[in-house]
Structure 1
Amino acid sequence: MKPLTKSRFKTALECPNKLFFTSKKEFANNKSDDPFMRALASGGFQVEELARLHYPNGVFIDTENFEYDKAFQLTQEALLLENVVIYEAAFQIDGLFIRTDIIVKNGNNIKLIEVKAKSFNPSDENIFVGSRGALVSSWKPYLFDLAFQKYVAQKTFPNLNFEVYLLMADKTKKATIDGLNQLFRIPNNGNPRTDIIKRVHSLEEIGSTVLSEINVDNIVNDIIRNKYKYYENLNFEEAISTFKKAYQEDVYLNWPTQFSSCKNCEFKATALQEEEGLKSGFKYCFSKQLNWTAKEFNKPNAMQIWNFRGKNLMEENRLLMEQLTENDLNIKPEAGRIAPSERQWIQVEKAVNVDTSFHAEKDELKQEMEKWVFPYHFIDFETSTVALPFTAGRKPYEQVAFQFSHHKYNEDGSIEHYSQYINNTAGEFPNFIFARALQTALGNDNGSVFKYATHENSIINAIIIQLEESNEVDKNELISFLKTISQSTSKQAETWEGDRNMIDLCRVVKNYYYNPYTKGSNSIKAVLPSSLNSSDFLKMKYSQPIGNINLTSHNFPSDHIWLQMQGDTVLNPYKILPPLFENWTEIEMEENLSDMENIADGGAALTAYAKLQFTDMTTKERDEITQGLLKYCELDTLAMVMIYEHFRNDVIN
């Protein structure tokens, strides 16, 4: 009989219907393919290893995931000791099974410790329970997970006293050594829980820790006693009983569909996945509950609308875009721009009418563009935040700016990949070097500077704070420069907006332009291929080698062609970035430490930078990953140039 484990319990809390799909290989599960999720998982394993140094000499319950009885038996044997630390202790009773990260037994008292790669500030009095007395939504899944663990453990051993703690990254602590992140290396192959490569075996070897413990036992007890509920119609024990029965009997719970959770469901199958034989849990639910057929699934629906919450539409079974009215979107026009609600309605109308032409507020966009000053500077940053800092003196999840790309668009129409910066030196904190390189790149004129979305401004604010706390001799000069191209965020003590405050091209898109090919997304990864598909100018220009079109590049040869077609559709340039290690021999590949295939998204870039922190990586492999990052980042700023050219040549003219 398969038990209800804590991971299945957490899945059921997200949506009880997911229990029916989660253990079936025939259903697509896109969460497992998410590069950001993989990067987060790696960080979690590293934090767990550091956590074990807090409680050394533990008994490790080394069993396979499915060896429930064996794991429990080994745990029982270890618990016979008066005092013991156990890693991955297993508890099971009445069809319920959990494995705990760490337990510390002293007589009959047990600390049950859950290790999380999340961060917290110990001075925050409302970390878990808000000022109005409700659980903070972002912590709710973790706290219910802990409640399930305590419930099962206490029920298994009623004679023992369990007290629950979280052990997490502490935002107030600083790493005391370089390379803390790399002391616990995730293997390319094997189980990251059992085969992780440790280079230290005591806290003394790293000086101090960046983790802190926090007691959450009272909150967990309140959850078990039903002071807090996940679903109003289920108390805690009812939820456990319901989920266990459904999972063990393989019953689809037919839990009412909800707009937000269904919109973000990981069990949606893409067309390609369905062609490969995978099923869609999303379609299964909608077929069962809303009687949708292939006809409805092939039509655009409200969950595809940008930033739309779909109040009452699920209950009314009125989710198709063709069933919506302007009243459903509560349209509120705004002078001089496309209001968010207007943008949603434009998306609906074009989708329903199969209209692939772009919409633009041409006059308003033209007025906006007339404010811009040549030469234009298009900037993109690549950054990293990790639980275990790469360098001494840094805190968990402190921003690290390791790369930028910079395209310069001159008034005569020539385009230069003007400058770039990357840090690929293991153990070096790059932010201040990054700021100096940025100053050199942008300090020679007063041209407009462009970003895409708010990330770059947030990073500049973070670097300003780091500089203020530093002893850098040129910190005042650097801060003054950074303030000219940014505006203050809420974290700053003072308020400013620079003379060359970066222009957000994403905001320009949202305010003045909608392209149906984006299907509502404003990501540059969607807007670029959409612009290419809609622009004869871009198609003609970028179907030629870059050496022929008045464009320079630091990372691509002059015969490189950016635009490739598949039938009548332009291929997304991000999908055709060259793979890593393309011409390497099998023997060379066997010696690789990075185990990467390509860099074509932000998650892969994060992972690549973390790999570059390996001090024992060969120069050849380091150079290969560096080149992959440089090419990826160059495309990000060239994408901004292309979007600008689309506006200039196709939209306002």
Structure 2
Amino acid sequence: MRLLTKSRFKMGLECPNKLYFTQKSDYANQKHEDTFLQALAKGGFQVEELARMHFPEGVLVESDSWDYEELVVKTQELLKRKNVVIYEAAFMHEGLFVRTDILVKKGNDIQLIEVKAKSYNASDENTFIGKRGGLVAGWKLYLFDVAFQKYVMQTVHPNWNIKSYFMLANKEASASVEGLNQMFRITQKANNRTGIERRVESLSEIGNSVLGQVEITEIIQDILDNEHTISGDFLFEEAVHALRDAYLTDHYLNFPTSYRACKSCEFKATDEEEAKGLKSGFKYCFQKQHYWKASDFKKPNIFDIWNFRRGADLFQEGKIFKEQLTLEDIKYEEAAGRLSTSERQWIQITKSREEDDSIWVDKEGLQQEMDSWSYPLHFIDFETSTVALPFNKGRRPYEQIAFQYSHHIYYEDASIEHASEYINNRAGEFPNFDFLRHLKLVLEKQPGTIFRFAAHENTILNAIYEQLNNSDEVDKEELIEFIQHISKSTGKSAVQWEGERNMVDLCLMVKHFYYNPYTNGSNSIKKVLPAVLHSSEFLKQKYSQPISQIQLSSKNFDTDHVWLKLEADHVVNPYDLLPEVFEGWTDEELGEVLSEVYDVADGGAALTAYAKLQYTDMSEAEREQLTKALLKYCELDTLAMIMIFEHFKEILE
């Protein structure tokens, strides 16, 4: 049965044309969907199970066959009761179908409760409505989702008085028991569906809930009354009918293309997929609406330009190809001592349209920075997570958790030591302070400049600083002093500092002084590394030899391991040579699956693996295998930083 469900309604709001391509096996789809992986990382099923404990008398509506009509019939039977609580109540009307997370019925008074593993601050009055009166961008689709549910329910039951709510993780609430998150274990059933094994009977056993119920009735009604629109003049009921009719009749809506929607379109086919016969929805739209020929799809376009905030405006002006752009179009401005954003964008634009694959380097600026570094050089990488349901008593939802680091040292004689590493793979423990003690111990042994890649490590140390301030740790003052010594405060901190040994951001060195066309504009370390390897003869020669022959030690790889592999003169990304943390999934694919959860472009495998260690039951052998894979990933992250440094050194020498 073909129905417009709430997930397809949300897809249609992102771009109505997507409904034509979804569920078609002959079209490529880059958006991988795996509820088990999403549940692991996001904690959604755990939050939903805790939310249900707030309404313990609820009845679950389910069907093994996923029969829509059966679900609706079961729901209507339960609704004959004057008072009832239903989990996953199902409603269908003229091609529309929704299921509600929790429905509370008292006569004709209805509570529609949407459970999300998202967080909010109970004291924040601008969670959903911004200061200018519009919907906050990060909540817009979720609010329209609830409006769609209410619309269908109200159509089926016009006499109901429906109030709408979110149930969310309240970041101002703290757990009142130890191991709250261990009370909800994720299971993967035989039919590949994800379930929860609850190890607590009642809400009273966990004390204060970290979830909060927030009324959004007025906002939802304003959406239904078209006070808030999703796109221009696209009125709510018109949108529902247009999307439903298009999906049910398999009709292409020919909705105008846009920079943001087309840039992130999942229905793009790679060259390999097209060679196998898969079609591209992206190409379909641009052939139909912009009359692109095959040659146009080969022209460099604006969708991959780094940090391009003018993209939407230029797209509206019809400037889609890089060959059309001028310095004025990108608001070109030079910066003193480093590349400005627009300078870097212009380098990318010109190299792309001139098919120039040579690297660009500001040697003078890079040399000046490198002259300030002191040996030995320390390269560190953190792996972290945040969880909706806290590990420990007194912890709040989505507090930062640092569970792993890797640490390489580059000595002045060019020898490289994998000096230390740390991982906590035990379920239910809060590792941050132990993590920090280990890091302090190893970094204080030797002087020298410390490096990170991007802002993540600094952000995490600031978060641990706040956690220490609110703790009773006996060594809190020494640990706080260490944090302030190797980091700098963020704007949110009440106390401002910049440490004497503040970490150097190697990613900023890339952004400010270096551009490699093989990164295609990305500054992710997993894109920069293969680009650097491709461009560096020194790195190719060095890392195509076994570890034992290149003055390099390793804690996780055998001495005969070779980091660099060439296939037809093409460098294979070293990350692709690592063991898969999850069978059939690369780290990049995991990042795509979890893109709406966190910024995990460079940490999908680690975050998901850590969640699996925490929330699923496994044998010691499985735990050991997963731990070994995590250690290898993290070791490569810090070695990758050294390879980038060596490439810079090679250029300047």
User: Aligned partners of 2:35, 2:276: CA distance in 1, in Å?
Assistant: 21
Equivalent residue number for residue 139 of structure 1 = 139
Farther off after superposition, 175-184 or 287-296: 175-184
RMSD: 2.1
Offset, 1:625? 1.1
8 Å contact kept, 2:63–2:71 = yes
8 Å contact kept, 1:35–1:603 = no
Equivalent residue number for residue 61 of structure 1 = 61
8 Å contact kept, 2:582–2:605 = no
1:607-622 to 2 correspondences below 5 Å = 607-613=608-614, 616-622=617-623
Equivalent residue number for residue 451 of structure 1 = 452
Instruction: Rate the CA distance shift 1:300–1:20 in 2: closer, same or farther, 3 A.
Output: same
Q: Which amino acid aligns with 1:117?
A: A
Equivalent residue number for residue 587 of structure 2 = none
Offset, 1:646? 0.2
Equivalent residue number for residue 544 of structure 1 = 545
SS at structure 2 position matched to 1:30: coil
1:245-644 to 2 correspondences below 5 Å = 245-308=245-308, 309-579=310-580, 602-613=603-614, 616-644=617-645
8 Å contact kept, 1:257–1:314 = no
Instruction: Rate the CA distance shift 1:46–1:350 in 2: closer, same or farther, 3 A.
Output: same
Instruction: Rate the CA distance shift 1:580–1:108 in 2: closer, same or farther, 3 A.
Output: closer
Q: Which amino acid aligns with 2:262?
A: C
Offset, 1:31? 2.0
Q: Which amino acid aligns with 1:80?
A: K
SS at structure 2 position matched to 1:328: coil
Offset, 1:430? 0.5
Offset, 1:279? 2.0
User: Aligned partners of 1:50, 1:179: CA distance in 2, in Å?
Assistant: 14
Q: Which amino acid aligns with 2:428?
A: G
User: Aligned partners of 1:41, 1:16: CA distance in 2, in Å?
Assistant: 29
Instruction: Rate the CA distance shift 1:106–1:36 in 2: closer, same or farther, 3 A.
Output: closer
Instruction: Rate the CA distance shift 1:474–1:195 in 2: closer, same or farther, 3 A.
Output: closer
Unaligned runs of 5+ in 2: 584-599
Offset, 1:79? 0.4
Equivalent residue number for residue 108 of structure 1 = 108
Equivalent residue number for residue 74 of structure 1 = 74
User: Aligned partners of 1:235, 1:580: CA distance in 2, in Å?
Assistant: 45
Equivalent residue number for residue 649 of structure 2 = 648
Instruction: Rate the CA distance shift 1:36–1:638 in 2: closer, same or farther, 3 A.
Output: farther
Encode CA deviations 1:367-424: one digit per residue, 9 max, x unaligned: 1100011111000000001112233332111100000000001111111001111111
8 Å contact kept, 1:378–1:449 = yes
8 Å contact kept, 1:301–1:320 = yes
Equivalences, count = 636
Q: Which amino acid aligns with 1:196?
A: I
Q: Which amino acid aligns with 2:258?
A: Q
Instruction: Rate the CA distance shift 1:525–1:34 in 2: closer, same or farther, 3 A.
Output: farther
Offset, 1:427? 1.7
Equivalent residue number for residue 585 of structure 1 = none
Encode CA deviations 1:567-593: one digit per residue, 9 max, x unaligned: 1111000010134699xxxxxxxxxxx
SS at structure 2 position matched to 1:326: coil
Instruction: Rate the CA distance shift 1:109–1:192 in 2: closer, same or farther, 3 A.
Output: farther
1:213-224 to 2 correspondences below 5 Å = 213-224=213-224
Offset, 1:243? 1.1
Offset, 1:359? 0.3
8 Å contact kept, 2:406–2:638 = yes
Instruction: Rate the CA distance shift 1:53–1:34 in 2: closer, same or farther, 3 A.
Output: closer
Equivalent residue number for residue 242 of structure 2 = 242
Instruction: Rate the CA distance shift 1:130–1:616 in 2: closer, same or farther, 3 A.
Output: closer
User: Aligned partners of 1:128, 1:189: CA distance in 2, in Å?
Assistant: 36
Encode CA deviations 1:482-521: one digit per residue, 9 max, x unaligned: 1111111122111110011110000000000000000000
Encode CA deviations 1:48-77: one digit per residue, 9 max, x unaligned: 111111111312111258522211111111
Offset, 1:41? 6.8
1:32-47 to 2 correspondences below 5 Å = 32=32, 38=38, 43-47=43-47
Instruction: Rate the CA distance shift 1:601–1:141 in 2: closer, same or farther, 3 A.
Output: same
Offset, 1:161? 1.3
User: Aligned partners of 1:34, 1:347: CA distance in 2, in Å?
Assistant: 35
Offset, 1:614? 5.1
Q: Which amino acid aligns with 1:73?
A: V
8 Å contact kept, 1:543–1:562 = yes
Instruction: Rate the CA distance shift 1:39–1:604 in 2: closer, same or farther, 3 A.
Output: farther
User: Aligned partners of 2:507, 2:471: CA distance in 1, in Å?
Assistant: 33
Q: Which amino acid aligns with 1:635?
A: L
User: Aligned partners of 2:458, 2:29: CA distance in 1, in Å?
Assistant: 34
Instruction: Rate the CA distance shift 1:509–1:570 in 2: closer, same or farther, 3 A.
Output: same
User: Aligned partners of 2:616, 2:16: CA distance in 1, in Å?
Assistant: 45
Equivalent residue number for residue 27 of structure 1 = 27
SS at structure 1 position matched to 2:47: helix
SS at structure 1 position matched to 2:44: helix
SS at structure 2 position matched to 1:612: helix
User: Aligned partners of 2:438, 2:35: CA distance in 1, in Å?
Assistant: 29
Offset, 1:316? 4.1
User: Aligned partners of 1:63, 1:134: CA distance in 2, in Å?
Assistant: 39
1:9-24 to 2 correspondences below 5 Å = 9-24=9-24
Offset, 1:453? 0.3
User: Aligned partners of 1:41, 1:25: CA distance in 2, in Å?
Assistant: 27
Offset, 1:616? 4.7
Q: Which amino acid aligns with 1:522?
A: N
SS at structure 1 position matched to 2:272: helix
Offset, 1:255? 0.8
Unaligned runs of 5+ in 1: 583-598
Equivalent residue number for residue 596 of structure 1 = none
Encode CA deviations 1:24-54: one digit per residue, 9 max, x unaligned: 2222222225899735775212211111111
Instruction: Rate the CA distance shift 1:564–1:293 in 2: closer, same or farther, 3 A.
Output: same
Instruction: Rate the CA distance shift 1:324–1:154 in 2: closer, same or farther, 3 A.
Output: same
8 Å contact kept, 2:564–2:571 = yes
User: Aligned partners of 1:64, 1:151: CA distance in 2, in Å?
Assistant: 27
8 Å contact kept, 1:35–1:604 = no
Instruction: Rate the CA distance shift 1:580–1:242 in 2: closer, same or farther, 3 A.
Output: closer
Identical-pair percentage: 58
8 Å contact kept, 2:222–2:228 = yes
SS at structure 1 position matched to 2:295: helix
Instruction: Rate the CA distance shift 1:37–1:56 in 2: closer, same or farther, 3 A.
Output: same
SS at structure 2 position matched to 1:314: helix
Residue 225 of structure 1 pairs with residue 225 of structure 2: yes
8 Å contact kept, 2:379–2:642 = yes
Offset, 1:195? 3.6
User: Aligned partners of 1:282, 1:547: CA distance in 2, in Å?
Assistant: 48
8 Å contact kept, 2:185–2:616 = no
Q: Which amino acid aligns with 2:467?
A: Q
Farther off after superposition, 92-101 or 428-437: 92-101
Q: Which amino acid aligns with 2:157?
A: F
Offset, 1:248? 1.2
Offset, 1:310? 1.8
User: Aligned partners of 1:240, 1:112: CA distance in 2, in Å?
Assistant: 19
TM-score by length of 1: 0.94
Instruction: Rate the CA distance shift 1:325–1:614 in 2: closer, same or farther, 3 A.
Output: closer
User: Aligned partners of 1:277, 1:208: CA distance in 2, in Å?
Assistant: 55
Q: Which amino acid aligns with 1:131?
A: K
User: Aligned partners of 1:24, 1:212: CA distance in 2, in Å?
Assistant: 39
Instruction: Rate the CA distance shift 1:189–1:359 in 2: closer, same or farther, 3 A.
Output: farther
8 Å contact kept, 2:534–2:570 = yes
Offset, 1:196? 2.9
8 Å contact kept, 1:402–1:423 = yes
Instruction: Rate the CA distance shift 1:618–1:167 in 2: closer, same or farther, 3 A.
Output: same
Offset, 1:638? 0.1
Q: Which amino acid aligns with 1:505?
A: L
Equivalent residue number for residue 123 of structure 1 = 123
Q: Which amino acid aligns with 1:142?
A: Y
SS at structure 2 position matched to 1:637: helix
8 Å contact kept, 2:410–2:416 = yes
Farther off after superposition, 482-491 or 184-193: 184-193
8 Å contact kept, 1:92–1:152 = yes
Farther off after superposition, 608-617 or 8-17: 608-617
